[in-house]
Amino acid sequence: MSIITLEHVSKAYPSPGRGGDPVTAVDDVSVEIAEGTITAVIGYSGAGKSTLVRLINALEPVTSGRVVVRGQELSALPERQLRRARRDIGMIFQQFNLMESKTVFRNVEFPLRLAGIPAERRRERVRELLDFVGLADRADNHPDQLSGGQKQRVGIARALATSPSVLLADEATSALDPETTQDVLELLRRVNDELGVTMVVITHEMDVVRALADQVVVMEHGRVVEQGDVYRVLSDPRQPVTRRFMRTLVRPTPPHAEFAELRRLHPGRLLSVRVRDDHDVQGLVERVAGREGVCAELVYGGVNTVQGRGFGYLLHELTGPADAVTRAVDELTADECIEEVA
Ligand SMILES: Nc1ncnc2c1ncn2[C@@H]1O[C@H](COP(=O)(O)OP(=O)(O)OP(=O)(O)O)[C@@H](O)[C@H]1O
Ligand SMILES: [Mg+2]
């Protein structure tokens, strides 16, 4: 069942200069997000990711198209009902956006006050939330007494205060060091697992995609250029932008200077083999090399896993009699997962 549906959604901002063309931040995007899933939205700076999530919680009105969350078309709701609908959509931010002059308790309590919850119930709920995020002993601290990871935990507790069914995260771990990032990702996993909250996370970090995502949506110039199951997108990226992104996680070849050194040691023909768990391409290389009497030596590799399944690249050097190597290269490069590296 889809909980968030975007139908031909566009968002244009007035031109920054006078008389210029409007900026189309989101351009005819249609996406369906199933209940209980985690979707990662990736793409380079300016691709329209933040605008897209601001449309999902109606922080911004759409220019055209429909945004439907839990059966309600947000763009059609009057302000009063919109405020109520927003309580069902929590959001966390890169810079945490906490009120610095207020205690942790007051920060988490804030949305409950807005929702008109009586004081006694608010207190109970805040305790419960701080327990859940592991900050029960920090209720009376101010944000400046907390680490970045703790601040984000407060942000998460606040976002969950009104028991939303959707949580939106805009670069929620980008300001954190790698270890703290892992802790916060683990907490977000629990939010999904234990509370069943559907999540949409914007990120430029492949680790976040790997650790959290069920689906990936790739944006470029305001459009969704690729979307699908996380393993499919990572192991078989179809768009150039997705391939570039994926290469930040596993490199098909070493960086420049190192590659020159590798080339000096291995002057033979090089084949880059894309590893997927549904295609024994490594076995194919061994079979063809064996049959042609050439040697296939593994000279570089980067393999990673997502959802327990391997993906990445292996670089082989083929050496032996020239005509046999040529036959092997020709046969192997006919496979869509194998290409020759110059
Ligand atoms: N309030 C605004 N007014 C005018 N233009 C805007 C506004 N917000 C965003 N834009 C423009 O819309 C486009 C998409 O911006 P957006 O912030 O959604 O990108 P992003 O993918 O989140 O980028 P980043 O990774 O840098 O956060 C950009 O060209 C941006 O300049
Ligand atoms: Mg952004």
Closest C-alpha residue for ligand 1 atom 4: 13
Pairing of strands 223-229, 2-13: unpaired
**Exposure pattern of 191-221 as b/e (b: 16+ CB <10 Å)?**
bbeeeebbbbbbbbbbebbbbbbbbbbbbbe
Contact present, 174 and 205 (Cβ < 8 Å): yes
**What is the 300 CA–ligand 1 centroid distance (Å)?**
38
Ligand 1 site residues (CB inside 6 A) read 13, 23, 25, 43, 45-51
Residue 127's pLDDT is 97
Closest C-alpha residue for ligand 1 atom 31: 46
52 CA closest ligand 1 atom index: 18
**What is the 299 CA–ligand 1 centroid distance (Å)?**
42
219 CA closest ligand 1 atom index: 21
Residue 3's pLDDT is 96
d(CA 74, CA 67): 6
Per-residue pLDDT tens digits of the chain, which is 342 residues long: 899 999 999 999 988 777 778 899 999 999 999 999 999 999 989 999 999 999 999 989 999 999 999 999 998 899 889 988 999 999 999 999 999 999 999 999 999 999 999 999 999 999 999 999 999 999 999 999 999 999 999 999 999 999 999 999 999 999 999 999 999 999 999 999 999 999 999 998 888 998 999 999 999 999 999 999 999 998 888 999 998 888 777 788 888 899 999 999 999 999 999 998 888 999 999 999 999 999 999 999 988 888 889 888 999 999 999 999 999 999 999 999 999 998
Strands (E), 60-202: 64-69, 72-73, 89-93, 166-170, 198-202
Domains along the sequence of the chain with CATH: 2-246 (3.40.50.300), 256-341 (3.30.70.260)
309: which residues sit within 8 A by CB, 6+ positions away? 231, 235, 277
60 CA closest ligand 1 atom index: 1
Residue 256's pLDDT is 87
**What is the 87 CA–ligand 2 centroid distance (Å)?**
22
Residue 278's pLDDT is 85
Mutate to test the pocket of ligand 1, among 10, 11, 13, 29 (most ligand atoms within 8 A of CB): 13
As residues whose CB is below 5 A from the ion ligand 2, the structure lists 50
16 CA closest ligand 1 atom index: 4
**What is the 88 CA–ligand 2 centroid distance (Å)?**
22
